[in-house]
Structure 1
Amino acid sequence: MVVLARPHARYRRSYLRAHDEFLEAREGHRDGEGAWVEPADAGGYPGAAFSRAELETDEGFARLVRFRLDRSLEDTPRPTGHVPSTVYWIGGDDPAEYLGSLSIRHSLTPFLRDVAGHVGYSVRPGARRRGVATEALRLALPEAAALGLDRVLVTCDTANVASAKVIEANGGVLEDVRGVKRRYWVATT
């Protein structure tokens, strides 16, 4: 079973184990999750930072959870050029099992339109090839519809055949290829 859940403290142990899996696989960037360190910028964003040591504590992990939840709010400070986005953690059979992350960006900037799209997701290496991403994207479509999006742009690298299959399994229609990105539109209803 795959579920989409808003970030919650119950995922801490599994989330940190997943982080270790991503590091072991040499995958630093995780679509749908966001970085642990965001520097301050000239547009007034004060920056944010989380360390592994801090996230090992209840208080530190609670701060990360709040940070991820607040990303959906219009008035939350964010890096210049970023838009509100709703972050979900992909869960499994165990209510504390973290399988990955998925984010729905509420609108598109020129960068998002060309490269990243409305939806980004990543599945921890140990949970891949089990249909997790396909089901997570399927579950995200009604959530995107609830945000007023009748269709979402979902992109993947041209070399990422697995992600292309996830998008196509959810009704994705290829619009074009721009550089190394395949760009699909997926109806939300």
Structure 2
Amino acid sequence: MPELITPTVRLQASFLTAVAEFHAEPGQAVPWFVKDVDPAALTDPGPDAFAAYVARVLAERTEAGMRRDAGVPMTTLWWAEGDQLLGRLAIRHRLTPNLERIGGHIGYDVRPGARRRGHATAMLAAALPVAAELGITGALLTCDETNTASRRVIEANGGRLTATEGNKLRYLLPTT
């Protein structure tokens, strides 16, 4: 049964396969987390470069290790079953004014080869208690008006539409 786990080098092969799936997906933008992977982690066949990438992602949970372009600490978790990476999710510990408009507290991606199986809905449900542990009582999530799949995922998890800004829908989800 899939579960949210802390990023680990154990999933290196599956992670790299998922990255290749995202790059090969026709007509879709490559998610930011794929673009953010250290180039050496993608090309070095040994475990050291990938271990350094995983360590960096884990450090992003702290003020000292956070990504400067993100402006907030975030907890990245992987949705996995056994040695198979199915998706990834990031919980932003707080919001900047920009994240309040676009992005919100939680962002998630399911690898192309694992879509349409309920993973995004289950992954978000599993993340809400983690967000609560981080002190987030109501998680803000945003999605494009045209992203029917994300709308369904958010609404299935109790998301309440609070506003529309441009083409972005803003939802508030209880974390408890």
**Relative contact order, CA 8 A, sep 6+: which one is greater?**
1
CA distance in 2, matches of 1:159, 1:68: 30
User: Which residue pairs with 1:131 in the alignment?
Assistant: 118
Q: Does 1:176 align with 2:163?
A: yes
Q: Does 1:119 align with 2:109?
A: no
Task: Pick from 31, 36, 43 the counterpart of residue 53 of structure 1.
Answer: 43
Q: Does 1:16 align with 2:16?
A: yes
**Structure 1: segments with no counterpart, 5+ residues:** 38-48
The one-letter code of the counterpart of 1:184 is Y
The Cα shift of 1:144 comes to 0.3
The CA RMSD over aligned residues, in Å, is 1.5
Q: Is the 8 A contact 2:160 2:173 kept in 1?
A: yes
User: Which residue pairs with 1:42 in the alignment?
Assistant: none
Residue correspondence of structure 1 range 9-158 to structure 2 within 5 A? 9-26=9-26, 27-30=28-31, 33=33, 35-36=35-36, 49-51=38-40, 52-54=42-44, 56-80=45-69, 82-92=71-81, 95-158=82-145
The one-letter code of the counterpart of 1:78 is R
Instruction: List, as ranges, runs of 4+ consecutive aligned residues in structure 1 with deviation greater than 3 Å.
Output: 26-29
Between Structure 1 and Structure 2, how many residues are aligned? 174
Secondary structure at the residue paired with 2:143? strand
**Structure 2: segments with no counterpart, 5+ residues:** none
CA distance in 2, matches of 1:139, 1:81: 23
Q: Is the 8 A contact 1:50 1:64 kept in 2?
A: no
The Cα shift of 1:104 comes to 0.1
TM-score, length of structure 2 as denominator length: 0.93
**Aligned pair in 2 of structure 1 residues 131, 118: CA closer, same or farther (>3 Å)?**
same
CA distance in 2, matches of 1:20, 1:80: 24
The Cα shift of 1:15 comes to 0.5
The one-letter code of the counterpart of 2:138 is R
The Cα shift of 1:73 comes to 1.0
**Aligned pair in 2 of structure 1 residues 133, 80: CA closer, same or farther (>3 Å)?**
closer
CA distance in 2, matches of 1:166, 1:150: 19
CA distance in 2, matches of 1:121, 1:72: 16
Q: Is the 8 A contact 1:88 1:102 kept in 2?
A: yes
Residue identity over aligned pairs, in percent, reads 43
The one-letter code of the counterpart of 1:5 is I
**Aligned pair in 2 of structure 1 residues 23, 35: CA closer, same or farther (>3 Å)?**
closer
- Larger helix share, 1 or 2: 2
Secondary structure at the residue paired with 1:116? coil
